[in-house]
Amino acid sequence: MSRSVTTENGQHGIPEATVNRLPVYLRALYALADRGIATVSSEELAAAAGVNSAKLRKDLSHLGSYGTRGVGYDVEYLVYQVSRELGLTQDWPVIIVGAGNLGHALANYGGFASRGFRVAAIFDADPLVVGTEIAGQVVSHSDEIESVIALHGVSIGVIATPAAAAQGVCERLLAAGITSILNFAPIVLNVPSGVDVRKVDLSIELQILAFHAQRRAVVRVAGERGWSAPGGSISGGDGRRLGGQRSAGRGAMPADGETGAAAQAVGQ
């Protein structure tokens, strides 16, 4: 069932799927603005964002932006509209918990400041890391998480810790009043309703890519051997239908429903 949300300017009924696409539109708009483009058609913006133009026009209509026939959308004004709906017209202090390699990379990411986010503090529990400097920030001990959240009015927390520590960190963030979490730890966090968690798991994304790469390799090999797959089955050169079973001979390939080691990894 689709969900809708209330946005920054108080509008109701914007579908969550639309909200999820707004950052993609904003990224495309920033790229257009950097190139000095003042106006853009719905077709051009949709192509840049990777959606169809009808969906884009419907999404933007929820913001009250309909463009001008024959002219298109004003890029600068549309940047403002989308930024306003996403709440990016104000400064958002963010904390990063975990100052390992990933925490370093996140703290050094220049896109935060240019998109309305300010890294207020970086935390770690390792005494050898506490007190070191990352991107101009001195790493604080994790014991100070609650006091820093209160001091800076932090609303968003980023978890970049090992999996074993992530749930405990999450619970501390929630107890301190944070209800928006970006989780890079390879674990599903248990949170109460009303808490927004966005999970980024690079290993899962790579496994999914491996699955699709394997499927393409199977299709390529089939093509090289002169096989075709009408109706989802694979036919050998002598006309034998292999269907839903593996051929016992050399060069057997996965049949429907069988995906091999990479797909099994995805399912785990």
In the block, tokens 């099994």 appear at 264
* DSSP string computed for 27-73: HHHHHHHHTT--EE-HHHHHHHHTS-HHHHHHHHHTTT---BTTTBE
Query: What's the pLDDT score for residue 64?
Result: 87
**Helix 53-61 / helix 42-49 crossing angle, nearest 10 deg:** 100
Report the C-alpha gap between 19 and 24 in whole angstroms. Answer: 10
**Could you tell me what percentage of the chain is helix, strand and coil, using 3-state DSSP and rounding each to the nearest 5?**
45, 15, 40
| pLDDT for res 243 | 42
The β-bridge partners of 196 are 180
Cα atoms in the Cβ-side hemisphere of radius 13 Å centred on 135 = 19
pLDDT value at residue 65 = 75
Minimal CA–CA distance to 59: which of 106, 5, 19? Answer: 19
Q: How, if at all, do strands 117-124 and 133-134 pair?
A: unpaired
Please give the structure tokens belonging to residue 210: 């491996």
Mean pLDDT of residues grouped by 10 in the chain (268 residues)?
45 80 95 94 95 94 83 93 89 94 91 84 96 94 96 95 96 96 95 93 90 87 66 46 41 38 36
Structural tokens at position 139: 């790493």
> Taking the CB of residue 161, how many other CB atoms lie within 10 A of it?
27
Amino acid at residue number 246: R
- State residue 233's pLDDT score: 45
Q: Using CA atoms in the order 29, 30, 33, 38, what is the torsion angle rounded to 10 degrees?
A: 20
Which pLDDT value is given to residue 237? Answer: 46
Cβ atoms 174, 149 nearer than 8 A: no
Measured distance CA(39)–CA(191) in Å, rounded? 43
User: Which residues are paired to 58 by β-bridges?
Assistant: none
Provide the pLDDT for residue 246: 42
CA dihedral of 128, 97, 89, 64, whole degrees rounded to 10: 150
pLDDT at 69: 81
| CA–centroid distance for 7 within its chain | 20
pLDDT digits (tens, 9 = 90+) for 189-216: 999 999 999 999 888 889 999 999 998 8
Q: How far apart are CA 154 and CA 174, in angstroms?
A: 11
